[in-house]
Structure 1
Amino acid sequence: MSELHIQTSRGLSGRITPQGNKNEALPIVAACLLNPGVTRLENLPEILDVRAMLQIVQGLGARVERSADGHSAVIQADTLDGSQPDPVLCAQIRASLLLAAPLLARRSQAGRGSVILPRPGGDRIGRRRIDTHLAVFETLGATVDTSPRDVRLSLDGPFRGTHLFLDEASVMATENAVMAAAMAEGDSVIENAACEPHVQQLCRLMEQFGARITGIGSNRLCITGTGGVPTPRELSHRVLEDLIEVGSFIALAAATGSELSIPGVTPANYWMVAKAFERLGVRFTLEGNTLHVPANQELEVQSDRFGEVPRIHDAPWPGFPADLSSIAVVLACCANGSVLIHEWMFESRLYWVDSLIGMGARITQCDPHRVLVNGGAPLFGTRLSSPDIRAGMALLIAALRAEGTTVIQNIRQIDRGYERIDERLAALGARIKRVAE
Structure 2
Amino acid sequence: MSDDYLQRIGGLIRTAREHKGKTQGQLAAALGTSQSAVNRMEKGQQNLTLEMVARIGEALDSEIVSIGYAGPMHLRVDGGRQLSGAIDVRTSKNAGVALLCASLLTTGRTTLRQVARIEEVYRILEVLASIGVKARWTNDGRDLELTPPARLDLDSMDEAAAKRTRSVLMLLGPLMHRAEQFRLPYAGGCDLGTRTVQPHLAALRQFGLEVAATDGSYHARVEAGVSPGRPIVLTERGDTVTENALMAAARHDGVTVIRNASPNYMVQDLCFFLEQLGVKIEGIGTTTLTVHGRPDITCDVDYAPAEDPVEAMSLLAAAVVTSSELTIRRVPIEFLEIELAVLEGMGLDHDRTPEYPARNGRTRLVDLTVRPSKLTAPIDRIHPMPFPGINIDNVPFFAVIAAAAHGTTQINDWVYDNRAIYLTDLTRLGADVTLLDPHRVLIQGPTRWRAAETVCPPALRPAVVMLLAMLAAEGTSVLRNVYVINRGYEDLAERLNSIGASIETFRDI
Normalising by structure 1, what TM-score?
0.93
Deviates more, 1:416-425 or 1:76-85: 76-85
In the TM superposition, residue 148 of structure 1 has moved relative to its aligned partner by 4.4
Deviates more, 1:345-354 or 1:330-339: 345-354
Give the Cα separation in 2 of the matches to 1:19 and 1:158. Answer: 42
Q: Is the 8 A contact 2:80 2:475 kept in 1?
A: no
Q: Is the 8 A contact 1:333 1:374 kept in 2?
A: yes
1:198 to 243, 266, 282: 266
Q: Is the 8 A contact 1:338 1:374 kept in 2?
A: yes
* SS of equivalent to 1:284: strand
Query: Where do 5+ consecutive residues of structure 1 fail to align?
Result: 108-112, 305-309
Task: Tell me if 1:87 matches 2:186.
Answer: no
1:284 maps to: 350
Name the CA shift for 1:287/1:158 in 2 (closer, same or farther; >3 Å): farther
**Percent identity (aligned):** 30
* SS of equivalent to 2:202: helix
1:389 to 460, 473, 477: 460
Give the Cα separation in 1 of the matches to 2:489 and 2:164. Answer: 16
Query: Where do 5+ consecutive residues of structure 2 fail to align?
Result: 1-71, 355-364
Cα RMSD of the aligned pairs, angstroms, is 1.6
* SS of equivalent to 2:290: strand
2:111 maps to: 40
1:114 to 160, 167, 181: 181
Alignment of 1:44-55 (within 5 A): 44-55=115-126
One-letter code aligned to 1:278: E
Q: Is the 8 A contact 2:208 2:224 kept in 1?
A: no
Deviates more, 1:238-247 or 1:427-436: 427-436
- Larger proportion of helix: 2
Using CA pairs under 8 Å that are at least 6 residues apart, name the structure with larger relative contact order, 1 or 2: 1
Q: Is the 8 A contact 1:282 1:297 kept in 2?
A: yes
In the TM superposition, residue 68 of structure 1 has moved relative to its aligned partner by 6.6
Alignment of 1:139-178 (within 5 A): 139-157=206-224, 160-162=227-229, 163-178=231-246
In the TM superposition, residue 185 of structure 1 has moved relative to its aligned partner by 1.9
Give the Cα separation in 1 of the matches to 2:349 and 2:414. Answer: 25
Q: Is the 8 A contact 1:277 1:328 kept in 2?
A: no
In the TM superposition, residue 292 of structure 1 has moved relative to its aligned partner by 2.8
Normalising by structure 2, what TM-score?
0.81
2:62 maps to: none
* SS of equivalent to 1:181: helix
1:298 to 374, 382, 387: 374
Give the Cα separation in 2 of the matches to 1:421 and 1:317. Answer: 26
1:410 maps to: 481
Give the Cα separation in 1 of the matches to 2:503 and 2:166. Answer: 29
* SS of equivalent to 2:346: coil
* SS of equivalent to 1:24: helix
Task: Tell me if 1:6 matches 2:74.
Answer: no
Alignment of 1:68-107 (within 5 A): 69-84=140-155, 85-107=157-179
Deviates more, 1:369-378 or 1:157-166: 157-166
Q: Is the 8 A contact 2:206 2:226 kept in 1?
A: no
In the TM superposition, residue 159 of structure 1 has moved relative to its aligned partner by 5.9
In the TM superposition, residue 134 of structure 1 has moved relative to its aligned partner by 0.8
Task: Tell me if 1:316 matches 2:383.
Answer: no
Task: Tell me if 1:268 matches 2:338.
Answer: no
Give the Cα separation in 1 of the matches to 2:176 and 2:207. Answer: 12
One-letter code aligned to 2:108: G
In the TM superposition, residue 283 of structure 1 has moved relative to its aligned partner by 3.5
In the TM superposition, residue 71 of structure 1 has moved relative to its aligned partner by 2.4
One-letter code aligned to 1:123: C
* SS of equivalent to 1:92: coil
1:328 maps to: 398
Give the Cα separation in 2 of the matches to 1:426 and 1:218. Answer: 39
Deviations 1:94-116 (A, max 9, x none): 10111111112012xxxxx1110
Give the Cα separation in 2 of the matches to 1:120 and 1:80. Answer: 24
1:233 maps to: 299
Give the Cα separation in 1 of the matches to 2:426 and 2:330. Answer: 32
2:249 maps to: 181
